[in-house]
Amino acid sequence: MTRIATFLTLSILLGALCACSDDKKDPVDADSCDTDTDSVIADGDDLLNDDDVDSGNPLFNKGPYGIALGDTAADLTVPIDEGDWGLEENWDGKENYVFLFYRASNSYSKQMFESRLVTLLMNSPKNVHYFFIAGATDDLVAEVLAPVREEAELALNVVDDPEHWTPRLHFVTKGAANLGNWLSEWYSGGSAFLLGIDRAQKIRGGGLPLNWQTQKADFEMAGYEAAYWNFDVDRAEKLAAEVEPLILTGIDGEEFASETINFEVEFPSAAEMADITGLAVDLTQVCTSQAACEWDRIMHLYICGPDDTDTCGTEVARWITPYGMGGRWVTDISALMPLFAGGGTLKFRLYVWGFQVKNYLSFRLTTGGAPAPTGIKKLFAGNPRFDENYNAQYEPVAFEMPAGVTKAAIVAYITGHGNGSEQENCAEFCPFESVFVVNGTNYEKDHPLAATNDGCIQQIQDGVLPNQYGSWPFGRAGWCPGLNVTPWVKEVTDSLVSGENSFAFEGYLDGEDYVPVVTAPDGYRAEINSSSYLVWWE
């Protein structure tokens, strides 16, 4: 494993950061804010090395162990109603384990333990065990867990699969400080109230489990942590299965001096690049302080060339940063391979406004997949206002396709922004349509999840970071906070003709030109941020 890969593994779902605005909530009470990312990583150096202990379960990782986020979890035993439950004894590498702690001094923890349990079981992944643990001392156990037990009984009478969930809900019969294992050490050393062990046996933390509909913390939100862990472990396994990927480092821990990081990467020669079929951007970001990553921001990666080596305005990747968190995103940009085909020293620009983080960015090059495109043509790019004049702002593009083209596709990044200034709440929260017209044939990109209450919850399976410290669950037009924007690739081969071809780009709301009813003229008016290309295979 490379040094960067090791760091990435240790920096997933980093600790809680406080935020304060109308759109964000403090993750914990004033006296209980988790350590920052640097502290978490530093703590990971203090490992509990149990290499001399012979594990009786061959599937169980023998360490070294630690109790910081990203460390390998050691064995533990907790007393539950049915007797002692042991992690190693029950380990099969397929389950996630979530430990929910009641902290009397933390209002969010108290709200969670007063919430309904049925929504957790209805929305949780199936491969999870939940452990409910009362406060520090044993005398609180019966009082704290009694309403949760009642909720569990009610929930099991409602869900469709009570036989599945009954053995997965565990009530710990001792207080958190008296468990006699590393869970007690963890509990006593911080203020968080959610801890997990994923199916890779790594220790996980959680964000703010606030239900943005009720404005209270609840059990349901804890289930979304495990959903993300499943995504993350699946991604790690997929990356590990790649055959000898070539990993090229672009940024190694650099912070934004202002809003831009310029860097160079030495790619293989053009002849060697001809054998590359897969290309991905691997980005990890670590918040440098609470305020540094407070808001969701649009972040772009530009390549400086081939026709704009000075302005560096050719977009190859896009992300929307999360509220108050770092994270990791791996974006497949194989469809833009022709921009990299020349190899050699390539220049890049990473840009974001107002998001100060440490950055770790690399390119992953692979072989053996489907052939990459061989040619590319820029089509439309910009960030104009979305209004009644929108469709007059992009002039049609005429282009004569080279001879020998066997397939062609449009590749685009399209996200809507602006809200609270127009009656339709465009373009972040309105489901506008983006239409490419190729020789008179329409190819439409829709945004059906925009303005839904759970649109970004639905995309945790695609990598949305759950339980951010801002209004992350609500669906947006083409994006979510804490998610990379996946290139939209649409084949258009059947619409091409020999000779000159015509391409146009248009935007509509409900099939009509959008005429906004402006409610706040000085507010954040609607705009559509797009860049698009025609690519082809020969």
Distances (CA, A) of 132 to 42, 79, 475: 29, 11, 31
Written as one string, the DSSP assignment of 465-521 is PSS-SSS-SS--SS--TTEEPPPEEEE-GGG--SSEEEEEEEEEBTTB-----BS-T
Instruction: Name the strand (E) or helix (H) holding 113.
Output: helix 107-113
Radius of gyration (C-alpha) of the chain in whole angstroms: 25
Two domains, one topology: 244-369 and 373-538: yes
As a whole number of angstroms, the distance between CA 398 and CA 536 comes to: 16
Residues forming beta bridges with residue 266, ordered by sequence position: 345
pLDDT of 23 reads 52
Q: Which CATH class is domain 244-369?
A: mainly beta
Protein fold of 373-538? Jelly Rolls (2.60.120)
At 134-160, the pLDDT tens digits run 987 898 899 999 999 999 999 999 999
CA of residue 230 relative to chain centroid, distance: 12
Question: What is the pLDDT, as a whole number, of residue 5?
Answer: 39
| Assigned superfamily of 44-239 | Glutaredoxin (3.40.30.10)
pLDDT tens readout for residues 300-331: 999 997 777 777 899 999 999 999 999 999 99
Using the Cα atoms of residue 450, residue 451, residue 454 and residue 457 in order, give the sign of their dihedral: positive
Q: Residue 402, exposed/middle/buried by CB under 10 A (0-12, 13-18, 19+)?
A: exposed
Higher-pLDDT residue of 502, 213: 502
Q: What pLDDT is stored for residue 55 in this prediction?
A: 52
> What number of H helices and E strands is found in the chain?
10, 26
DSSP 8-state secondary structure symbol assigned to residue 372: P
> Minimal CA–CA distance to 265: which of 350, 188, 192?
350
Task: Report yes or no: 225 and 124 within 8 Å, Cβ to Cβ.
Answer: no
- Indicate the domain borders of the chain: 44-239, 244-369, 373-538
At residue 1, the pLDDT reads 43
State how far the Cα of 284 lies from the Cα of 327, in Å rounded to an integer: 6
Torsion angle of the four alpha carbons 119, 110, 67, 356, in this order, in degrees rounded to the nearest 10: 90
Q: How confident is the prediction for the chain on average, in pLDDT?
A: 90
